[in-house]
């Protein structure tokens, strides 16, 4: 297949030929309640362990990052970033199944350590006339 794209459309743009990629990334930002701060290390350790156990094509040789890190704190939650890379082509059935395995691993880990995810807080104001 030949694809013609005018230079004006791609100048200064970053693009990738996904059809030639053989590895993929799965990344999530998880929100945990502030009361879990004193055990965030345990939560992250169990998430790592569950992902390793659930994902046989996870890249752990150092050629791509495998991160489960506490990356932010807010007034109502902690953020843990899960960043995984896999020997699975993107946009394939294997990719979506791998993504699901990561999600199940995160869920299993949260249940094991009895951690609860923090829900986004929305504020609604009522105005009286």
- What's the pLDDT score for residue 64? 95
Given a contact cutoff of 8 angstroms between Cβ atoms, the answer to whether 40 and 80 are in contact is yes
- What's the pLDDT score for residue 17? 56
Select from 90, 105, 95, 109 the least CA-distant residue to 45: 109
pTM of the model: 0.78
82: which 2 tokens? 């899960």
Measured distance CA(93)–CA(69) in Å, rounded: 28
42: which 2 tokens? 């345990």
> Could you read off the pLDDT of 103-114 as tens digits, one per residue?
999 999 999 999
Q: Which residues of the chain have pLDDT under 70?
A: 1-2, 9-10, 14-20, 122-126, 128-129
> Could you read off the pLDDT of 24-34 as tens digits, one per residue?
999 999 999 99
């Amino acid at each position: 297949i030949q694809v013609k794209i005018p230079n004006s459309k791609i100048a200064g743009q970053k693009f990738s030929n996904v059809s030639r990629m053989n590895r993929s990334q799965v990344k999530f930002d998880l929100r945990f309640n502030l009361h879990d701060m004193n055990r965030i290390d345990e939560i992250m350790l169990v998430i790592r362990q569950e992902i390793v156990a659930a994902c046989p094509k996870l890249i752990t040789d150092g050629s791509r990052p495998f991160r489960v890190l506490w990356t932010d704190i807010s007034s109502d939650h902690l953020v843990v970033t899960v960043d995984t890379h896999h020997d699975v082509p993107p946009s394939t059935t294997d990719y979506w199944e791998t993504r699901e395995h990561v999600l199940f691993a995160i869920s299993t880990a949260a249940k094991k350590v009895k951690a609860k995810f923090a829900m986004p807080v929305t504020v609604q104001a009522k105005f009286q006339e």
